[in-house]
Amino acid sequence: MRDPECLFCKIVHKEIDSTLVSESERALAFRDINPAAPTHVLIIPKDHLVSVRELTTAHGELIGEIFELAAQIASDEGLEDYRLVSNVGPGAGQSVFHLHFHVLGGRSMSWPPG
Ligand code: DGP
């Protein structure tokens, strides 16, 4: 359930340092190395999945844990408003091919995104 070449799998297995924010049975949350907002946390599954494109009803528990973590992180960080984003594919801005959700907050945001 891990890709030996994957950066985020290395973070899960503590082979690369990260600033951990929170954790559940199946998911991990840590601060983005290149923050795009005052709060910028990444939530990832501990098992390797490439993107949300792979998610099915079989991942229901994982999806629930990720969304609970997002809400808990937003609350802990004092965010009333925040953005939860998952880029799918390089054309949409995905640069790390291990499923992740960005939790972004602490500044005003425009729509549509660039
Ligand atoms: P995306 O472009 O949607 O695939 O987001 C990938 C994010 O991962 C990007 O915002 C930067 C972040 N990132 C890349 N390498 C590292 C790393 O080694 N540590 C941490 N904490 N974040 C990383």
* Catalytic residue status for 13: no
Q: Which of 48, 59, 100, 102 is catalytic?
A: 100
Check if 39 has its Cβ closer than 6 Å to any atom of ligand 1: no
Q: What is the pLDDT of residue 114?
A: 85
* Class of domain 7-105 as given by CATH: alpha beta
Tokens 């840590």 label which residue? 30
Taking the domains of the chain in order of start, what are their residue ranges?
A: 7-105
In terms of C-beta density within 10 A (0-12 exposed, 13-18 middle, 19 or more buried), how is residue 50 classed?
A: middle
Nearest CA to ligand 1 atom 20: 33
Atom of ligand 1 nearest to the CA of 40: 10
Q: What is the pLDDT of residue 1?
A: 86
Q: What is the pLDDT of residue 11?
A: 98
* pLDDT tens-digit map of 39-98: 999 999 999 999 999 999 999 999 999 999 999 999 999 999 999 999 999 999 999 999
Q: What is the pLDDT of residue 51?
A: 98
